[in-house]
Structure 1
Amino acid sequence: MPPLAAAVIALIGLIALFSAVWAWQLRSENAGMVDPIWAHSLGLVAALYAMLGTGDPVARALTALGGLVWGARLGTHLWKRNAGKPEDARYQRFRAEWGDKAASRMFWFFQLQVVISMLLSIAFLVPSYRGTAPAVGWMLLAVVVWIVSVAGEAMADRQLRNFKADQANRDAVCRVGLWRYSRHPNYFFECVHWLAYIALSIGTPWGWFTLLPPVLMAFLLLKVSGIPLLEESMAKGRPGYADYMRTTSALIPWPPRH
């Protein structure tokens, strides 16, 4: 199947899915469940492209496996974190700011997730349609980057989860493990994950398109919906977080400043 046709199928499926999730949150009044759905669905898009793609079988297999496992791990983590809990502060803020227009604006916010997913899915589309197998060195690099990024993000998520589970840390700032060196090590490894598909795409005419997903992810986390919104509420509501911001790198792990 041509790549454009595969992308159209993915687009239609995502629009339908996020429209259904929007209708669901109208009843649950918890838009935070869009986060795990986003991760799971994007992993499925990777498998879709690999299945419909006409490229090298090895590149397609690595793309499908990488996207599926990444999406399953992240989506399951977010589901466990959000299910049965109050709505994330970011979405509560949107509802308060949008007032009576919250329902309609939330619909378009959910559709924005479709646009972001389609742009990120370029990382899966390009290697699924490469005509020749990637060089062994590039494949090994892609696998190493993927393992380091997914394992690192899982470690950061586990360290924060264990820290929060201890009632003694209820109002404390997490500075254990990776969180001593970065305020958002999970976000850092999330950005690194998208670099793996660049290595799988090197040597193809359209390989440079795979530079977009990691740049887009870093921009969203650093400037839009990730760090800015999260830290605004954390700095106001958690004692010691302002000091944590002054001494600790925002994204890239680095020894803390004194």
Structure 2
Amino acid sequence: MKYFKPLIPFLLGCIVLFISNNFFEFTLINGLSQLLLFILVVNIPAKLTGRMSYVDIGWPLGLALIGLLVLVYGQGADTKKWLAAILFLFMGLRMGLMALLYLTKGAFKRELPRYQYQKLRWDKEGKANVNLAMQVEILVQAFANMSFLAMPALLIAWNPNSTFHWLEILGIGLWLLSYGLESLADKQKNSFISMNVKAGDRRALCNVGLWRFSRHPNYFFEWMVWNSLVVIALPSVMALWSTEPLVIMLGLVGVLLMASRVMFTTLVYYTGAVPAEYYSVQKRPEYKEYQRTTSMFFPKKPKF
């Protein structure tokens, strides 16, 4: 049971979507599509290689798949269907195509550090069957795409109102700002690494630009991207409120809010900040001082 416990919240999220009046058909089609995608792109390669880094390909492509499916099956106004589709396609294809590029460059020939850390966690939890633990963790990612992470797209694409609510405009602005700052953080780090590699220093500590205010600004702004999706979806909750029984509608609101919680947990504890810092402390002696002076996740003025 300890192997399958992480799946339970995501299964509950899927059940809420299945029993809703609006989302049964989409949830069924999306569920089968996500399973097929993950089995082919992640589960089978993980079984053959013993590495679960292929999640970095399957998960974002699953987001892009959500974007395509809401465009086809969404029952709201065309403006809202296109909005949901564009946002999810943009996020998914950007990360997915980048992961495929890394694959062609041989980056997946060894396990990525964040997934190496997963195996340390399984050992601590007494999960001796690494194969089973790995396959279940991959399915957790697939079921996230079937439930909590699909919820913002579903609500937006089922909104019957073609005009834009002020909350939707606010959310779109927040999405653009957050996405832009996440991209800036990635660019700053890549430029810093490239410059120091050319100088022969592969272990230099990146604390420039946005990295002066947070040790993981890219993860923070990725979380804010998801929070902006929740904001964009809020007017849809109001528009669809009368189409579902109260208990189901409350369940759908809970699933929506869990998108933010799931991404926060993932980006901080699961495959984000904590795993990255486990190895950074070992590689870079000055990293402990960086931890003392700089906020881990939420950007703040550094301490000196």
Give TM-score scaled by structure 2 length.
0.77
The match for 2:116 is: 92
Which 10-residue stretch deviates more, 75-84 or 191-200?
Answer: 75-84
What per-residue deviation string (whole Å, max 9, x for no partner) do you get for residues 92-148 of structure 1? 344565697222221111101112222111111111112223534233222211211
Count matched residues: 258
CA contact (8 A) 1:94 1:102 kept: no
Q: How does 1:204-215 map to 2 (within 5 A)?
A: 204=239, 205=241, 206=249, 208-209=253-254, 210-215=256-261
Shift of 1:33: 2.3
The match for 2:24 is: 4
Structure 1 residues 151 and 76, CA, compared in 2 at 3 Å: closer, same or farther?
farther
Which 10-residue stretch deviates more, 181-190 or 27-36?
Answer: 27-36
CA contact (8 A) 1:156 1:179 kept: yes
The match for 2:34 is: 14
CA contact (8 A) 2:114 2:272 kept: no
Structure 1 position 121 matched with structure 2 position 150: yes
Shift of 1:158: 1.7
2 CA distance for matches of 1:58 and 1:77? 28
Q: 2:284 aligns with which of 231, 238, 243?
A: 238
2 CA distance for matches of 1:218 and 1:15? 24
- The one-letter code matched in structure 1 to 2:130 is A
2 CA distance for matches of 1:197 and 1:234? 31
Q: How does 1:1-258 map to 2 (within 5 A)?
A: 2-20=22-40, 21-81=42-102, 83-85=105-107, 86-95=110-119, 101-118=129-146, 119-133=148-162, 135-166=164-195, 167=197, 168=199, 169-201=201-233, 202=235, 203-204=238-239, 205=241, 206=249, 208-209=253-254, 210-258=256-304
Which 10-residue stretch deviates more, 58-67 or 12-21?
Answer: 12-21
Which 10-residue stretch deviates more, 96-105 or 70-79?
Answer: 96-105
- The one-letter code matched in structure 2 to 1:105 is A
- The one-letter code matched in structure 1 to 2:149 is L
- The one-letter code matched in structure 1 to 2:33 is G
Structure (1 or 2) with the larger CA radius of gyration: 2
Which 10-residue stretch deviates more, 84-93 or 239-248?
Answer: 84-93
Give TM-score scaled by structure 1 length.
0.89
State the identity %: 27
Alignment gaps of 5+ in structure 1: none
- The one-letter code matched in structure 2 to 1:249 is S
Structure 1 residues 176 and 79, CA, compared in 2 at 3 Å: closer, same or farther?
farther
Structure 1 residues 101 and 156, CA, compared in 2 at 3 Å: closer, same or farther?
same
Shift of 1:79: 3.8
Structure 1 residues 71 and 138, CA, compared in 2 at 3 Å: closer, same or farther?
same
What per-residue deviation string (whole Å, max 9, x for no partner) do you get for residues 17-70 of structure 1? 212222113334442121132112112212212320111211111110011111
- The one-letter code matched in structure 1 to 2:36 is A
SS of the aligned residue for 1:120 comes to coil
CA contact (8 A) 1:181 1:253 kept: yes
Shift of 1:10: 0.8
SS of the aligned residue for 2:301 comes to coil
What per-residue deviation string (whole Å, max 9, x for no partner) do you get for residues 188-218 of structure 1? 1111111232333223325844322122211
Alignment gaps of 5+ in structure 2: 1-20, 242-248
Shift of 1:187: 0.7
- The one-letter code matched in structure 2 to 1:17 is L
Structure 1 residues 81 and 179, CA, compared in 2 at 3 Å: closer, same or farther?
farther
Structure 1 residues 172 and 12, CA, compared in 2 at 3 Å: closer, same or farther?
same
2 CA distance for matches of 1:60 and 1:247? 44
- The one-letter code matched in structure 2 to 1:175 is N
Q: Could you say what the CA RMSD is over the residues aligned between the two structures, in angstroms?
A: 2.3
